[in-house]
A and B are shown apart, each in its own frame.
Chain A
Amino acid sequence: DTEVTQTPKHLVMGMTNKKSLKCEQHMGHRAMYWYKQKAKKPPELMFVYSYEKLSINESVPSRFSPECPNSSLLNLHLHALQPEDSALYLCASSPGRNPINSPLHFGNGTRLTVT
């Protein structure tokens, strides 16, 4: 069982819809991440929050909007997505930002399909 919980597990949305992906961890981790993973590809970093502040935005289109309401929660708000945005969206957390003593803990992801 993963200690990072992502909901929903699957999401189908139209290009005009607004939806949100949710991620929750109760390990006291202070860094949280969103990754996007296309089929048969490695995860690509989208956003990093450190102590609830956005510290990295990897030039992600504005139709993806992250939010970190508190240290346990991370949301990804979706609006006006394109079919090519269909992918597995992975949330991860770590105690701090140095990956050697703060390894990433991944959730099982949300499988998003944009129609």
Chain B
Amino acid sequence: AQSVTQPDIHITVSEGASLELRCNYSYGATPYLFWYVQSPGQGLQLLLKYFSGDTLVQGIKGFEAEFKRSQSSFNLRKPSVHWSDAAEYFCAVGAPNSGYALNFGKGTSLLVTP
């Protein structure tokens, strides 16, 4: 079965600084990969997704992610963080053999300081 690991539980970044959130997956083939964001008291919002094609994926809110098969990674990046980006970020993986049900990582909590 596919799984996903987010090594960082908390990340603190200064406003305006760049951001990278790590995600590693485990799956025999190329999985479906996603990044979701959750603000406090809210549901999850899809930032971007990848299955095939260009390994650099652009998402909403200025986020991008790069799929690296050799490292089994799908890291999320943003060149300049805004205070409103403070939230919980979840990487997720899905695969046809599981009925496409998404398996979420444990999440990374992003704190943005002035």
Q: Is the CB of B90 within 8 A of A108?
A: no
Interface residues of A (CB under 8 A from B): 2, 4, 40-45, 48, 55-56, 58, 90, 92, 97-100, 103-104, 106-109, 111
Nearest chain B residue, comparing its CB with the CB of A4: B43
Chain A residues near B106 (CB-CB < 8 A): 41-42
Interface residues of B (CB under 8 A from A): 32, 34, 41-46, 49, 51, 90, 94, 99-102, 104-107, 109
Q: Is the CB of B41 within 8 A of A108?
A: yes
User: Known: A2-B43, A104-B44, A107-B43. Contact between A99 and B49, CB under 8 A?
Assistant: yes
Q: Is the CB of A99 within 8 A of B34?
A: yes
Chain A residues near B109 (CB-CB < 8 A): 40
Interface on chain A toward B: helix, strand, loop, or mixed SS?
loop
Q: Is the CB of B101 within 8 A of A100?
A: no
A96 to B91, CA, bound (A): 21
Chain A residues near B105 (CB-CB < 8 A): 42
Chain A residues near B45 (CB-CB < 8 A): 106
A9 to B8, CA, bound (A): 30
A74 to B86, CA, bound (A): 31
Q: Is the CB of B32 within 8 A of A45?
A: no
Nearest chain A residue, comparing its CB with the CB of B102: A99
Partner of A42, one of B32, B90, B94: B90
A74 to B68, CA, bound (A): 38
* Chain B min CB distance to A18 (Å): 25
User: Known: A41-B106, A42-B90, A43-B104. Contact between A97 and B99, CB under 8 A?
Assistant: yes
9 contacts between A and B (CB under 8 A): A43-B90, A43-B104, A55-B99, A99-B32, A99-B102, A100-B32, A100-B49, A108-B41, A109-B43
A4 to B42, CA, bound (A): 12
A43 to B107, CA, bound (A): 10
3 closest Cβ pairs, A-B complex:
A106-B43, A42-B104, A106-B44
* Chain A min CB distance to B105 (Å): 6
Q: Is the CB of A45 within 8 A of B101?
A: yes
* Chain B min CB distance to A88 (Å): 9
